[in-house]
Structure 1
């Protein structure tokens, strides 16, 4: 009896891996989806309407719809940014959302397996994925034509197979899922996302309180390895009057800051999602980009499997960066300039009060592309941005 060889083994069952597995299985490929048990990524859980449309996600998975965002400056100035008539920010619980995506991949024909990836081996017959079903168990092996690494920012697949993957810059995120207050107030509103641009809460990123219906996510991120994440979240909860809310779970994980320059090894491995570094700078948004990257990886994988030409794997990154590279560049520049000091954070929050900034920000978020239809508004924003950066305009 001949040994089974999968067309693709997807390591990691988050939004990117589950999307890639579902797309490939729907195309008729034999797919094994290998995922660790009990893994929930710390995440604010925000998803734009375009994600719901592009990936056919049911509204029933939304646990809340945020209608505004509140930006809080170092001086505690609060600027509300209403979404208006153009949509909402959907909120999902990652444990439920990710499992739904994995089940959809299985319904499309992907085989699910719970286990921990160890390494990739190669012999004269091809590629072998080594994994363990449980801690302390024996190593098991399965053959495949292609490995898709979607196993997070510290991806073992990437570090073992993609040059310089271990150098990916990251922010470490930590959050606590708490029971939401029973009634809304100025401190907590179940229809509003609060974002804190304060150096005391994060010296180089931001902190947040995001509503999830019956629960809420309160957390922060920082690339500063010595920054006390847990202690700072505890301080936040105390200052906001949320310390008495029931804590449901606590989670932490790295979030990448920049896409890898290469997503494949030119032979039999390609990475996707956080493993490829596709999290938006400045905002830290990753679900939409992970799923989009997973889809592009599936398309490139299908071409590779059809032609047996490894260069087809390069198409995933090329297509992703063609569509989203400019947005990532702009957001990277924003983070570099505006998150560098409390003085600049104060000016950044002041800019958020501008109606032009609010309108174009929400349109770009909803549509996931730079808005080019209002050149005069862009010109006004550019001039205001320069004035704030150079200190020619008051911060408040």
Structure 2
């Protein structure tokens, strides 16, 4: 192992020539993986351009704070209810109760905080972007990284050798493109949102600072949904769709108007692909492992990704540690296997939910009707907060199944 070097990427420092692990991408998954490995004595390079904020509603279940040692002050808001809105305008409010809450983070501050933790643990942070990877004799990887212009104006690319690479660089991962076959890429929708200022006195019927609004309407998204999420002094308003030609910016404008935020000042606009299905393979069988969005670990139907990215990052770091210490590349497969053991059932059910209920406004109307059921609400919140399918009340699951079947077999009741 190499000696730790703690550097300030903004100062334009040169990264080590040889590292144990190069983590490409400093979002939640990459940052937590870099921190985990650095804490265990590995020489880690964390590469991130630091010049972009991912479009994200920012929702995390309350257990995230305890699971990943996130301080409460990183939350910009807490929501204790969600309101789902049907194409007809019918609304159903789903209150969480005392089981927990939905925390809201702002990626503009949350991601740098996580990268800072990785640095404090001993990782070297470098502001830049991966250009190329070449495998060298002996198993080392040679990486060419272009420094970010904001950090090192006029500087040329630098070369770093690494024993292992973790690709945490998003849905359009450069690591995946360079080291995996072209067909290996997750299915995704394109997400777009606008961060706007929260009005001083919002209309309670349209927007509440302690409630997440989720809009199921084909005019907003023909295959996904729209959202209005509180962020304290700001609000995230956006939508996603995989339908080519759907005007996400116009749909988001309609959402802002409906939420009483049409005149709110827009602070920033962001868009990016959002994967909705884990890849079948995350490693190249030798020295590269994908994690987070690069591996497709975003939940279908909900688009939730932060908690899963953090957990995936820890699993990726553990798999890489096992590979480095044992010399057995097959241990890299444990990251995906353990992730799917923990979350595969939830992802399967959410995928089926999206396939059945999101395919038309008629079905979306029925879905919102179903959300009014107390059993549906309780099981939904328990599964979201506990990050697993809760089985302690089998009769409730049976009741939900029967009501779900009834909704499928009866005409939609379009209530105004």
The answer to whether TM tops 0.5 is: yes
Match of 2:339 among 310, 316, 320: 320
Residue 134 of structure 1: aligned partner: 148
1:316-395 to 2 correspondences below 5 Å = 316-391=335-410, 394=413
Match of 2:48 among 32, 35, 57: 35
Structure 1's unaligned 5+ residue stretches are none
Q: Deviations over 1:288-310 (max 9, x none)?
A: 00000000000000000101111
Kindly tell me: are residues 165 and 84 of structure 1, through their superposed partners in 2, closer, same or farther at Cα, counting changes over 3 Å?
farther
Q: Deviations over 1:258-315 (max 9, x none)?
A: 0000000011100100000000000000000000000000000000010111101000
SS at match of 1:349: helix
SS at match of 1:85: coil
1:180-259 to 2 correspondences below 5 Å = 180-184=198-202, 185-259=204-278
Kindly tell me: are residues 381 and 181 of structure 1, through their superposed partners in 2, closer, same or farther at Cα, counting changes over 3 Å?
same
SS at match of 2:131: strand
SS at match of 1:265: coil
Distance 1:310 1:173 in 2: 35
1:45-124 to 2 correspondences below 5 Å = 45-124=58-137
- The CA deviation at 1:106 is 0.6
Residue 277 of structure 1: aligned partner: 296
Contact 1:162 1:262 in 2 (8 A): no
Contact 2:133 2:141 in 1 (8 A): yes
Q: Are 2:179 and 1:161 equivalent residues in the alignment?
A: yes
Kindly tell me: are residues 49 and 240 of structure 1, through their superposed partners in 2, closer, same or farther at Cα, counting changes over 3 Å?
closer
- The CA deviation at 1:79 is 0.2
Distance 1:191 1:246 in 2: 20
Residue 175 of structure 1: aligned partner: 193
- The CA deviation at 1:233 is 1.2
Kindly tell me: are residues 9 and 64 of structure 1, through their superposed partners in 2, closer, same or farther at Cα, counting changes over 3 Å?
same
Q: Deviations over 1:12-34 (max 9, x none)?
A: 00000001000000111110000
Q: Deviations over 1:149-186 (max 9, x none)?
A: 00000101012212355542111000000001112411
Contact 1:173 1:219 in 2 (8 A): yes
1:5-20 to 2 correspondences below 5 Å = 5-20=18-33
Residue 260 of structure 1: aligned partner: 279
Distance 1:119 1:321 in 2: 30
Structure 2's unaligned 5+ residue stretches are 3-15
State the aligned residue count.
395
Distance 1:324 1:164 in 2: 26
Q: Deviations over 1:121-154 (max 9, x none)?
A: 1222521111100357522110000000000001
Distance 1:263 1:124 in 2: 23
SS at match of 2:69: coil
Distance 1:371 1:240 in 2: 33
Kindly tell me: are residues 117 and 165 of structure 1, through their superposed partners in 2, closer, same or farther at Cα, counting changes over 3 Å?
farther
Residue 144 of structure 1: aligned partner: 162
Distance 1:177 1:4 in 2: 40
Contact 2:186 2:295 in 1 (8 A): no
> Mean Cα displacement is larger for which, 124-133 or 19-28?
124-133
Distance 1:295 1:306 in 2: 17
Match of 2:315 among 296, 315, 326: 296
Superposition RMSD in Å: 1.5
Contact 1:158 1:165 in 2 (8 A): no
Distance 1:163 1:362 in 2: 38
- The CA deviation at 1:235 is 2.3
